């Protein structure tokens, strides 16, 4: 193989911050080079420099021996560098085809060639293993996994020599990840070089050839084989082992805090019944589209259930009344944290107190001092960083943003927490912090329901795991019976099969 990308001594300084302090990276044509590190290690800044979005302060970036123009994303695109960012940069009101070819649309004279756009969009989606995705569908109406596929198709719509993939599997289920890997392998067979960034370290051995580890803006290890043990990678990234990620937990009590009885919202939730005790963390697994998010939304009253009951501490909640659910002590951290769980342009104080303003006011006015004291108490208890309650939510890392959402429900004295993908987009070091926060909340007696697509997270952290498929509960696992194979076996069962536990 020949060197495709060569990065030497890359430095990027922002006012008061050195994001990169001398990064070296070499990617060969036809290889998958995995880039790992905590949030803040410099991965995002590095790929922005390579893609031309950010101009480095010092160092060199060469593609096939030729220097890439500094700070010119258009030049990087013309050179064959395509980037799939973790935060999808799609236009929700445009169609799938329009998003794929945005900025380089086929034309018939001065007019857009819509027929060619649709045909070529369909071909790209078929190449990704999803020929049924409608090129005329509005992107804003798609589920997250399909929006990710559109972003992938857009990256492939140009003549790619180097493809940078930032967390491409974060919102994909196992079959979709398998399809993604098949596409990556076809590209590398055509001598396309791939930089693959993922917090899912178990994927690296499956798809990668070599690994580079970043920490504090520096390259701390390079040319590692993709078979490097996960524990060794975590040590390089954060200085702690995998066994230390999940905190020790106490046994739940016998008191049932949340009871869901035959809850229905077809077609997404066919029927769901379960109980959660005080101090228990109940995991819900299943493939994307199984109905997990829709179940949590129906429990919280955000979507109107067509049948069944939800009880919190013996109180039956009216359907479709999220205000009553919140008043009864039920809180929810949604899957789309930035768009549904936070007001990014507001301070941390405002984000924490938004559901509690009536109790912090003086007549029709909010007592600003009381509001700040109340928010600051819970932000400190969850160790939100940086310790500035007036900082904007948009300026925090993913892990700290999740803590802000949890602080809101602590202030509101929640008894039940519904957590939808609570560690999505969070690095392994910050995940350990989020796990500890959730474990501490459970130790206080909260009943917690956690949806996660990361099987290791469900197995290592939850007391029990319920598996959903096509809107129905198809299995319950606990203890040693909870394995990745068992979860996937249940997830791939037919919804008509009766739910069962594998307890022996």
- Residues of the chain where predicted confidence (pLDDT) is lower than 70: 1-2, 16, 39-40, 87, 171, 239-244, 357-367, 427-429, 493-504
Neighbours of 105 (CB within 10 A): 15
Both 30 and 170 in a single domain?
A: yes
For residues 54 and 12, the answer to whether their CB atoms sit within 8 Å is yes
Domain that holds residue 457: 256-341+415-491
215, 242, 269 - which closes a domain:
242
> What radius of gyration do the chain's Cα atoms show?
24
Q: With beta carbons less than 8 A apart as the criterion, state whether 258 and 316 touch.
A: no
Q: Strand 162-166 and strand 81-84: pairing?
A: parallel
Report how far residue 387's alpha carbon sits from residue 430's, in angstroms, rounded to the nearest whole number. 16
The structure's pTM equals 0.61
Do the beta carbons of residue 367 and residue 360 sit within 8 Å?
A: yes
210 within 8 A of 204, measured Cβ to Cβ? no
Angle at 120 (CA atoms; ends 183, 194), nearest 5 degrees = 30
The crossing angle, in degrees rounded to 10, of helices 428-443 and 398-411 is: 10
Q: Is residue 410 part of a domain?
A: no
Tokens of 122: 């369909």
The verdict on 166 and 296 lying in the same domain is no
Whether residues 206 and 269 share a domain: the answer is no
- From 197, 212, 242, the end of a domain falls on 242
Same domain, 199 and 328: no
SS3 62: strand
Instruction: CATH number of the domain at 126, please.
Output: 3.40.50.300
Whether 114 and 210 map to the same domain: the answer is: yes
Domain co-membership, 150 together with 272:
no
Which are the contacts of 170, defined by CB distance < 8 A and separation ≥ 6? 86, 148, 198, 199, 200, 424, 425
Asked if 168 contacts 84 with a C-beta cutoff of 8 angstroms, the reply is yes
Q: Assess contact for 59 and 219: CB atoms under 8 A.
A: no
**Boundary-marking domain end, from 242, 277, 308:** 242
DSSP code of residue 221: E
Same domain (yes/no): 183, 318 = no
Residues 6+ apart with CB under 8 A from 369: none
Query: 375 and 348 in contact (C-beta within 8 Å)?
Result: yes
Strand-pairing partners, residue 32, are 194
Q: What is the pLDDT of residue 498?
A: 46
The per-residue pLDDT for 106 is 93
pLDDT value of residue 163: 93
Question: 302 and 425: one domain?
Answer: yes
**Phi, psi at 146, each rounded to 5°:** -70, -35
Residue 141 lies in a domain: yes
- Per the structure, the count of domains in the chain is 2
Tokens of 136: 């005329």
Task: Round to whole Å and give the CA distance between 69 and 282.
Answer: 51
What is the pLDDT at residue 145? 72
Same domain, 331 and 459: yes
Please check whether residue 353 lies inside any domain of the structure.
no
Same domain flag for 301 and 181: no
Q: Is residue 21 part of a domain?
A: yes
Q: Kindly state whether residue 126 falls inside one of the protein's structural domains.
A: yes
Token pair for residue 118? 């649709």
> 76 and 192 in one domain?
yes
Residue 275's pLDDT is 97
> Does 248 fall in a domain?
no
Does residue 376 form part of some domain? no
Residue (of 329, 388, 389, 382) closest to 356 by Cα position: 329
Structure tokens at 196: 């693959």
Residue 347 lies in a domain: no
Q: Are residues 18 and 95 both part of a single domain?
A: yes
């Amino acid at each position: 193989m020949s060197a495709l990308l060569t990065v030497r001594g890359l430095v990027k300084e922002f006012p008061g911050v050195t994001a990169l302090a001398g990064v070296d990276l070499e990617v060969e044509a036809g290889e998958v080079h995995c880039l790992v590190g905590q949030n803040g290690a410099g991965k995002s800044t590095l790929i922005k420099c390579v893609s031309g979005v950010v101009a480095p302060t010092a160092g060199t970036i060469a593609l096939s021996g030729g220097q890439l123009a500094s700070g010119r994303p258009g030049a990087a695109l013309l050179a064959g560098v395509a980037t799939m960012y973790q935060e999808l940069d799609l236009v929700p009101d445009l169609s799938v085809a329009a998003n794929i070819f945005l900025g380089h649309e086929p034309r018939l004279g001065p007019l857009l060639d819509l027929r060619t756009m649709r045909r070529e969009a369909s071909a790209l989606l078929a190449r990704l293993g999803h020929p049924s995705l409608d090129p005329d569908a509005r992107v804003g109406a798609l589920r997250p996994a399909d929006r990710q596929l559109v972003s992938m198709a857009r990256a492939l719509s140009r003549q790619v020599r180097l493809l940078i993939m930032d967390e491409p599997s974060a919102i994909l289920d196992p079959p979709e990840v398998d399809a993604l890997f098949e596409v990556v392998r076809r590209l590398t067979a055509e001598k396309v070089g791939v930089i693959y960034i993922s917090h899912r370290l178990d994927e690296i051995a499956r798809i990668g050839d070599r690994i580079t580890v970043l920490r504090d803006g520096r390259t701390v290890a390079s040319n590692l084989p993709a078979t490097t043990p996960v524990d060794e990678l975590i040590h390089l990234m954060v200085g702690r082992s995998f066994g230390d990620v999940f905190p020790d937990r106490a046994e739940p009590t016998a008191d049932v805090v949340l009871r869901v009885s035959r809850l229905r919202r077809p077609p997404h939730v066919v029927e769901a019944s379960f109980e959660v005790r005080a101090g228990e963390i109940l995991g819900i697994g299943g493939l994307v589209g199984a109905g997990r998010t829709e179940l949590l939304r129906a429990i919280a009253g955000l979507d109107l259930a067509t049948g069944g009951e939800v009880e919190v501490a013996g109180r039956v909640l009216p359907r479709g009344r999220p205000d009553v659910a919140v008043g009864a002590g039920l809180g929810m951290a949604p899957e789309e944290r930035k768009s549904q769980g936070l007001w990014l342009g507001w301070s941390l104080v405002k984000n924490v107190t938004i559901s509690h303003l009536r109790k912090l006011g003086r007549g029709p006015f909010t007592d600003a001092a009381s509001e700040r004291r109340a928010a600051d108490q819970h932000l400190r208890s969850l160790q939100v960083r940086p310790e500035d309650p007036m900082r904007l939510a948009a300026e925090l890392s993913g892990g700290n943003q999740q803590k802000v959402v949890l602080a809101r429900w602590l202030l509101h004295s929640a008894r039940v927490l519904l957590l939808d993908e609570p560690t999505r987009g969070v690095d392994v070091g910050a995940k350990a912090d989020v796990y500890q926060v959730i474990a501490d909340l459970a130790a206080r007696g909260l009943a917690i329901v956690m949806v996660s697509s990361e099987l290791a997270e469900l197995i290592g952290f939850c007391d029990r795991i319920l598996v959903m498929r096509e809107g129905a509960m198809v299995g319950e696992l606990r203890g040693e019976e909870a394995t990745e194979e068992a979860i996937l076996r249940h997830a791939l069962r037919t919804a008509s099969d009766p739910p069962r536990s594998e307890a022996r």
